[in-house]
Amino acid sequence: MDENKTKNETWEWIKALLIAFGLVAIIRVFLFTPIVVDGESMMPTLKDGDKMLVNKIGYTIGEPKRFDVIVFHAPEQKDYIKRVIGLPGDEIAYENDVLYVNGEAVEEPYLAQYKEEATELPLTEDFVLEDKIQSTIVPDDHVFVMGDNRRRSKDSRHIGAVPMEEVIGKTKFVFWPMKNFGLVD
């Protein structure tokens, strides 16, 4: 009798662990996955080594918004973290460190502190979209992305517009290190 009870209890623990591992696998594959910031291209918003959660389902039911921080598969077989600057159909230009979307100046509040502390301006060189992606507008089903550290970011200015099929998801939450814990703008 004791042997049967031990076997049943062991079997119950094994089932519970299998279910737990299965749920973790489902959550990681389909809903959320961790990613580590590699490099300085998103400074000062994100720092090298920050660990974040990527929401993988957000864009299956919605569309990216301007200034979302996204993770995508880059051409170098590596995942990049960048900020959405241009949406499909947008005309993008920079002049005198000001972003212009469809001819209208657009503020970038996430760069305000960086601009104040910079010893060398402009942060972003002047350009029009056609100089960077050989198109006057962001193509359908693509986004134009840039890192917040404009001088040290390999982004759409170098790799072109990012196809939506390469976008893994949106990231907004740093969970490690604890001093950087929280939501990012």
Residue 86 has a pLDDT of 94
pLDDT digits (tens, 9 = 90+) for 90-99: 999 999 989 9
Confidence of residue 102 (pLDDT cuts 50, 70, 90): very high
Cα separation, 35 vs 26, in Å, equals 17
Backbone angles phi, psi at 128, to 5 degrees: -115, 155
In a domain, 26, yes or no: no
Separation of CA 120 from chain center: 26
pLDDT at 28 over 70: no
3-state DSSP percent of the chain in helix, strand and coil, to 5: 35, 30, 35
Would you say residue 94 lies in a domain?
yes
Q: Do the Cβ atoms of 61 and 30 come closer than 8 Å?
A: no
Q: Is residue 17 part of a domain?
A: no
Domain count within the chain: 1
Annotated catalytic, 41?
yes
pTM above 0.85, yes or no: no
Q: Is residue 4 part of a domain?
A: no
Q: Which of 15, 78, 82, 153 is an active site residue?
A: 82
- 81: alpha, beta or left, given left = phi > 0 and alpha = psi -120 to 50? beta
- Distance in angstroms (rounded) separating the CA atoms of residues 157 and 41: 13
Residue 87 lies in a domain: yes
In a domain, 67, yes or no: yes
In this predicted structure, the answer to whether residue 137 has a pLDDT above a threshold of 70 is yes
Q: Which of 5, 7, 15, 41 is catalytic?
A: 41
115 is catalytic: no
* b (16+ CB within 10 A) / e for 99-133: bbbeeeeeebebbeebeeeeeeeebbeeeebeebb
Q: Kindly state the average pLDDT of the residues 127-149.
A: 92
Task: With respect to residue 71, please indicate whether it lies within any of the assigned structural domains.
Answer: yes
Which domain covers residue 60, as residue numbers?
34-183
| Nearest CA-CA partner of 145 in 92, 103, 89 | 92
Is there a domain that residue 11 lies in? no
Q: What is the CATH number of the domain that holds 163?
A: 2.10.109.10
Cα 42 to Cα 36: distance, rounded to the nearest angstrom: 12
Point out the least confidently predicted range of 71-75, 144-148, 160-164. Answer: 71-75
Instruction: Report DSSP state, residue 166.
Output: G
